[in-house]
Amino acid sequence: VTYAIRCAAIHRGDRHGVLLSFEDVTDVEAASQMRRDFVANVSHELKTPLTALLGFIETILHGPAREDAAARDRFLGIMEAEAERMNRLVGDLLSLNRVEATERMRPTSRIDLAVLLTSVVKSLSGIAGDAGLEIRADVPEPPVSVPGDADQLRQVLTNLIENAIKYGAEGKRIDVRLTPPAYHPRMRCDAVELVVRDFGPGFDPVHIPRLTERFYRVDSHRSRQMGGTGLGLAIVKHIIGRHRGRIQIESEPGQGAAFRVLLPA
Ligand code: ADP
């Protein structure tokens, strides 16, 4: 607990006293610490690719690659990958910002989750196939209608399935299941359930409570190698929160991972 303590001398005629006030500023302090951590993290995440880019530019302009066309092409390829990494990070930061800006507004339109999920699975099947994975989707007949923001829910489905592709073991499948609205005791209302399950290496359940924090990664090396920004699940959590939903994560090392989303219908 952090207290701000103020002290004032008080004079009333010939009577003198001291006023001490104690204010609990724990939340204010925690919020500004979070802001500082976020800025430090963003700066670090941007500085790493930027340093690489500057290094390669220097080598191409003034170093040995100046006269060596093959080396120059190789360096340009690496520079392209680093610039794409920065671009993805900035894109995810802007998404997070947009989601936070709408967090207190309830979605007003209704969308068909069955149609949306089928379209997302179709658009990601190609990259799953390239990674040696098959997406098996179990989607009920449309409509599976929920109040929601179509762009944001598309982002939830995309981020969860993309993670299953990034971290799912090659040669195995990804199961995606959508269950039509039914009364859900934990939600105390009718809700639809979406489960994205992969059969990759999974992770120790100790990570689960922190997994939706910005920039939290179980395996930083793998995340960076796969082009991860560390923001995907933070974006998912904010969108689900705005939709008054819940997300539940299950995993055991070597057993794959399951991400279960409940959305009020
Ligand atoms: P990233 O861009 O790094 O993938 P996310 O916020 O989407 O960031 O995920 C945070 C971390 O959670 C990842 O870096 C990874 O360590 C872990 N993770 C997410 N999904 C899975 C999954 N399906 N299997 C194993 N680990 C996962």
| pLDDT of the chain, 265 residues: tens digit per residue | 889 999 999 999 999 999 999 999 999 999 999 999 999 999 999 999 999 999 999 999 998 888 899 999 999 999 999 999 999 999 999 999 999 998 888 898 999 999 999 999 999 999 999 999 999 999 999 899 999 999 999 999 999 999 999 999 877 899 999 999 999 998 899 999 999 999 999 999 999 999 999 999 999 888 888 889 999 999 999 999 999 999 999 999 999 999 999 999 9
Counting other chains too, the contacts that 213-222 makes at CB distance below 8 Å and 24 or more residues apart are 214/38, 214/41, 214/96, 215/41, 215/45, 222/167
How many Å lie between the centroid of ligand 1 and the Cα of residue 171? 19
How many Å lie between the centroid of ligand 1 and the Cα of residue 111? 27
Partners of 145 in the β-ladder: 112
> Regarding beta strands 246-251 and 134-138, do their DSSP bridges make them parallel or antiparallel, or are they unpaired?
unpaired
Query: Who contacts 55 (Cβ-Cβ below 8 Å, separation ≥6)?
Result: none
Atom of ligand 1 nearest to the CA of 226: 4
Pocket of ligand 1 (CB under 6 A): 163-164, 166-167, 198, 200, 202-203, 211, 217-219, 223, 228-234, 257
Query: Who contacts 218 (Cβ-Cβ below 8 Å, separation ≥6)?
Result: 203, 204, 207, 211
3-class DSSP state of 178: strand
Q: Write the DSSP assignment of 194-209 as a string of letters.
A: EEEEE-S----GGGGG
How many Å lie between the centroid of ligand 1 and the Cα of residue 223? 7
| Residue nearest atom 25 in ligand 1 by C-alpha distance | 202
Q: Rounded to two decimals, what is the model's pTM?
A: 0.89
How many Å lie between the centroid of ligand 1 and the Cα of residue 9? 56
Mutate to test the pocket of ligand 1, among 163, 167, 226, 250 (most ligand atoms within 8 A of CB): 163
DSSP tag of 169: P
How many Å lie between the centroid of ligand 1 and the Cα of residue 177? 20
Atom of ligand 1 nearest to the CA of 229: 2
